[in-house]
Structure 1
């Protein structure tokens, strides 16, 4: 069994270029890497925090976001957001291998790939860190510093919350709109708040958030 796990890990860490490119095609792309797809007649956002999921085996056994519950509670409180929402986002973003070597190998083939356990893109990180305690930190540190990844995600969600109008149309809660903003960017989040219908990728992200909601609550409760 251990030999089999090592074999899986090596296949992900020493992937040939063709396999990496094929994986990238499945994941999709967009103006904001990992954009969840804009609603009808709404321009794609300049930057998004997260990447779109695709089925991916884990190179080193299961990764459990609940292990970072203390960091989630700490940074959610500092950012003034729901710890349950932040944990649910981590569960949503746990679809791919979060191995520093893998992430850097993949980034060589896809320079706009996301980094860290919260799958944050460079532009989103650089925008979020301005004026914050981690302003001197670099996006390249995210694969190795998971606490930094959680902190950045918390403040990105804070910024999404600040962009929401006082009232909005549609069936979404504030937390659901913030999660859509995390995945699709602030521009699309605002469109969803006005009543625009999310595309299939954003809808899938929201469905997984709802599936993970109870589990996230137990993790941070």
Structure 2
């Protein structure tokens, strides 16, 4: 689910989050700004050999590790389990990929913003707690989502299933079932039902739906490859 109150560009947020992450781990001093001249050494000082860059932790992976197509197998498996359209699940992952993922980054950000979402599908705690009831992953806590993309995909699939169950047999709005479920994923079930009755989405929900449309074809390609 998109962070509804985000006001800073994600590039700024990543810098802030990584600063917290590095501070909490006693990391090295921050690098100087780009283009800054190197500090002059004192007379007679022996130049220190350049040190190797610190290796990232096992849980801090590259952004490419969280590209939605990497989870095509999980999307197919868990969309089938939940009885939802795998293309919708993949498109949701694309929609939610605006946010940097990874256990350390997500947990550092969550400490700054306690109501933040977790995992590659950006699920909030309340949504996860509701959708895991009676499900095969009922014993898995929300806190596992950043570490387990497969669990995140599974939970997102079942959450979409639960949203779809709430839709009436017929609705007055112009949106199809997948569009309404995506709007529900972004704005909640109550708003989804209002859109089904003909209410107009606000700018944020409209933007989410526009991104879903933009991501629709490449979601199909990701699943076909």
> TM-score band (shorter)?
0.7 to 0.9
> C-alpha root-mean-square deviation of aligned residues, in Å?
2.0
Report how far residue 99 of structure 1 moved: 1.4
Q: Is 1:198 paired with 2:212?
A: no
Q: Are the structure 2 counterparts of residues 141 and 120 from structure 1 closer, same or farther at C-alpha, using a change threshold of 3 Å?
A: same
Q: Determine if contact 1:13/1:101 at 8 Å carries over to the other structure.
A: no
**Number of corresponding residues:** 173
Structure 2 unaligned runs (5+)?
Answer: 1-11, 22-60
Report how far residue 153 of structure 1 moved: 0.1
Report how far residue 131 of structure 1 moved: 0.3
Q: Determine if contact 1:98/1:117 at 8 Å carries over to the other structure.
A: yes
Alignment of 1:53-202 (within 5 A): 60-62=62-64, 63-202=66-205
* Matches of 1:12 and 1:171, distance apart in 2: 41
1:207 alignment counterpart = 210
2:19 alignment counterpart = 15
Which structure has the larger Rg? 2
Structure 1 unaligned runs (5+)?
Answer: 1-7, 18-58
Report how far residue 137 of structure 1 moved: 0.4
Report how far residue 16 of structure 1 moved: 5.3
Q: Deviations over 1:164-191 (max 9, x none)?
A: 0001112211000000000000000000
TM value normalised by structure 2: 0.73
Q: Deviations over 1:27-56 (max 9, x none)?
A: xxxxxxxxxxxxxxxxxxxxxxxxxxxxxx
Q: Tell me which of the two structures has the higher relative contact order, counting C-alpha pairs closer than 8 angstroms and 6 or more residues apart.
A: 1
* Matches of 2:183 and 2:68, distance apart in 1: 19
